[in-house]
Amino acid sequence: MTAASRLLSALAAVGIAGAAGSAAFAQAAPTGEPIKVGILHSLSGTMAISETTLKDAMLMLIDEQNKKGGLLGRPLEAVVVDPASDWPLFAERARGLIAQDKVAAVFGCWTSVSRKSVLPVFKELNSILFYPVQYEGEESERNVFYTGAAPNQQAIPAVDYLMNEGVERWVLEGTDYVYPRTTNKILEAYLKSKGVAADDIKINYTPFGFSDWQTEVAAIKEFGSGGKKTAVVSTVNGDANVPFYKELANQGVSASDIPVMAFSVGEEELAGIDTGPLVGHLAAWNYFQSVDTPENEEFIKTWKAFTKNDNRVTNDPMEAHYIGFNMWVKAVEAAGTTDTDAVVDAMVGVAVPNLSGGVSAMGANHHITKPVLIGEIQGDGQFEVVDETPGLVLGDEWSDYLPESKPLIADWRKPMNCGNFNTDTGKCGGAGQQAAAN
């Protein structure tokens, strides 16, 4: 039984009682002292291409909640800061939001290096971060709720899909920081466990904002010229994706030759690219704008009305904020307070509708259940879903494919209250003990 499977049984025991109760709150106009909500996303620098839209999504969600009567009868007030794609600045801005602005919770970060930067601040000041982007796993913190995908909710299913399509050689292409490096470490171990030879795996990293892709794409073409079907698994992040895809097109790398499976490219990133030459390349997410559900139709309608722009697209991290924000609202209502400790305890088991169909629930490991979708780029910059999991998958915080992580689980309920409990030794690791003490 995997760590995720063990936690699914724990979820079933907890139930989704935390999802109930919102109907008791009338939709009268909110009054009194505002409840402040921190928004910590880069509005400038290399990550602005991806993060700016998440700021706008949060403003929309807060606006919609105020129309419903606010929270606990009080209005919500957004406090927006710009950490400017500067990782140490994320920690500084987070401290200001918590200590000076007195926000009740923070929704923010994109890169794992920004999340790692702010973790000590949230633990020290005992505040809550909702993190909305796919990440490498190998972490579970009491003060963080991970609403983006863990590797078993994106990277592993993506590789499985490509294997089923006959791929035998693998280029693991990423930006040089913790998320791509750790994800590729997991994927390399997974591929080797499936019998892939080391010579059939090529791993390469480039800096943030990298733009000179000619040599790198030529190397990818050379690697794929050996007669075995080759694919690129891309953890390239931020605005480096624009020149990367342009160079693929320039060198005639089509999806039929060497398909690219991206983990950080969605509708927002494609909005600035000529997608004609990219048709057929792939992305793995838990949501696409093209998903046909009533919830998604309403969300898109609200988004376009809020932005007053019919051309604004939606994407997966926006849905993650939608899920996380609605979970936080229900947990605050259930707790009757925005106090961190009470809300953290109330979050486990809370369930809300997602936009892809079904209900996402918060696990005791502070990860959520999500469907996994594989999308194919279309000429209009949207994705056609070509594969999906039959049900929702709970995020596995510790990878089963890394020996040091396989025995670890997280369970933030009392009495365990631990982010890295070792099922072999029966002990909580140092990180879990430290987090539990804060």
Q: What is the pLDDT of residue 431?
A: 39
Residue at 178 is within a domain: no
**What count of other Cβ atoms lies within 10 Å of the Cβ of residue 298?**
11
Q: What is the pTM of this model?
A: 0.89
Q: What is the pLDDT of residue 27?
A: 61
- Mean pLDDT throughout 35-51? 96
Residue at 27 is within a domain: yes
- Mean pLDDT throughout 233-240? 93
User: Mind listing the pLDDT tens digit for each residue in 89-120?
Assistant: 999 999 999 999 999 999 999 999 999 999 99
User: Mind listing the pLDDT tens digit for each residue in 115-134?
Assistant: 999 999 999 999 999 999 99
Rounded percentage of the chain residues whose pLDDT exceeds 70? 92
Give the span between the Cα atoms of 323 and 229, in whole angstroms.
38
Residue at 40 is within a domain: yes
Residue at 341 is within a domain: yes
Do you find a cis peptide bond into 415, omega within 30 degrees of 0?
yes
pLDDT at 171 over 90: yes
User: Mind listing the pLDDT tens digit for each residue in 9-40?
Assistant: 444 444 433 333 443 444 678 889 999 999 99
Residue at 25 is within a domain: yes
Domains in the chain, number: 1
Residue at 321 is within a domain: yes
Q: How many contiguous H segments (helices) and E segments (strands) does the chain have?
A: 13, 19
Residue at 208 is within a domain: no
DSSP code per residue over 373-429: EEEEE-TTS-EEEEEE-SS-EE--SS-TTSTTTTTEEEE-STTT-EEEEETTTTEE-
Enclosing domain of residue 312? 3-151+292-369
Confidence of residue 437 (pLDDT cuts 50, 70, 90): very low
User: Mind listing the pLDDT tens digit for each residue in 149-167?
Assistant: 999 999 999 999 999 999 9
Q: Which two tokens stand for residue 150?
A: 């863990």
Cβ–Cβ < 8 Å for 114, 354: no
Angle, CA of 305, 311 and 317, to the nearest 5°: 80
pLDDT at 46 over 80: yes
Cβ–Cβ < 8 Å for 249, 214: no
Give the span between the Cα atoms of 263 and 109, in whole angstroms.
16
Q: What is the pLDDT of residue 238?
A: 87
Cβ–Cβ < 8 Å for 35, 62: no
User: Mind listing the pLDDT tens digit for each residue in 386-432?
Assistant: 999 999 999 999 999 999 999 999 999 999 999 999 999 999 984 33
Q: What is the pLDDT of residue 226?
A: 86
pLDDT at 3 over 60: no
Give the span between the Cα atoms of 80 and 71, in whole angstroms.
19
User: Mind listing the pLDDT tens digit for each residue in 324-371?
Assistant: 999 999 999 999 999 999 999 999 999 999 999 799 999 999 999 999
The CATH number of whichever domain residue 296 belongs to comes to: 3.40.50.2300
Residue at 351 is within a domain: yes
pLDDT at 313 over 70: yes
Sign of CA dihedral 325, 315, 366, 349: positive
